[in-house]
Amino acid sequence: MIKINLLPVRAAKKKETAVQQISLFCIILVLVFAGIMILYFVKRLQISDTKNDISTANNTINVLKTKIGKLEELKALKEQVKKKLDVLNQLRKNKTGPAQRLATLSDSVPKQLWLTSYSESNSNIKISGLAYNEELIATFMRALEASIDYTAVELVVSEQKELNGVKLKHFDITCKLRSSVETAKAPTPLLVTPSPAAPKR
């Protein structure tokens, strides 16, 4: 009877199986390592993108802060300009009214003409005075009409009157105050040298 020794065959099979298992284990390790590296690089890329986004956001915030600062400066400048305009408007208002009208009236009076009365009733005005002749009265009326405060100037009375032995012309003039629209369109007032004191004999 022939006997066959199978131990070497079994040992070879065990050895082959062991080699296959080691090879499979190594392949698994390589795959796991490759997966880890892929995840690592993906995370690194995500972190880099996030840092870039944060940097871009910070730059945007800095730009917005600069713009906000400029807006605040513009607001402060606007407030300063508004205050100055309010002051100018107040000064402009202070230049109008009875004081301004009387100043205009004084500037419109020519030499050798003197005013004796001035009265206002709403927008109606009556002016009385004395002058050496009718030409001075006409000059006075033209100056009033050309002013920024008076319009519709009319001569009501012009009569001879003697004062301290001097023959003069007594006159009464009526006129009206210009409206705000008329004032804006009115020409520059005609300036006439203020009159001296009333004549004495």
pLDDT digits (tens, 9 = 90+) for 9-68: 566 677 678 777 888 888 888 888 888 889 888 888 888 888 888 988 888 888 888 878
Among 180, 189, 106, smallest CA distance to 145 is for 189
pLDDT at 199 over 60: no
What CA–CA distance (Å, rounded) separates 53 from 55? Answer: 5
Both structure tokens of 126: 């009556």
- 49: burial class by Cβ within 10 Å (0-12, 13-18, 19+)? exposed
Count how many residues are written for the chain.
Answer: 201
pTM of structure = 0.44
Q: Which CATH number fits domain 98-185: 3.40.50.300, 3.60.20.30, 3.40.50.20, 3.30.1360.100?
A: 3.30.1360.100
Both structure tokens of 90: 């107040």
Say whether 137 sits in a helix, a strand or coil. Answer: helix
pLDDT of 88: 55
Mean pLDDT, the chain, whole residue set: 78
Among 120, 110, 132, 134, smallest CA distance to 175 is for 120
pLDDT of 201: 46
How confident is the model over 158-190, as pLDDT tens digits? 999 888 888 899 999 999 988 643 544 545 544
Q: Are 163 and 138 in contact (CB under 8 A)?
A: no
How confident is the model over 116-167, as pLDDT tens digits? 999 988 889 999 999 999 999 999 999 999 988 889 999 999 999 888 888 8
pLDDT at 2 over 60: no
Beta strands in the chain (DSSP E): 113-121, 124-131, 150-163, 166-177
pLDDT at 8 over 70: no
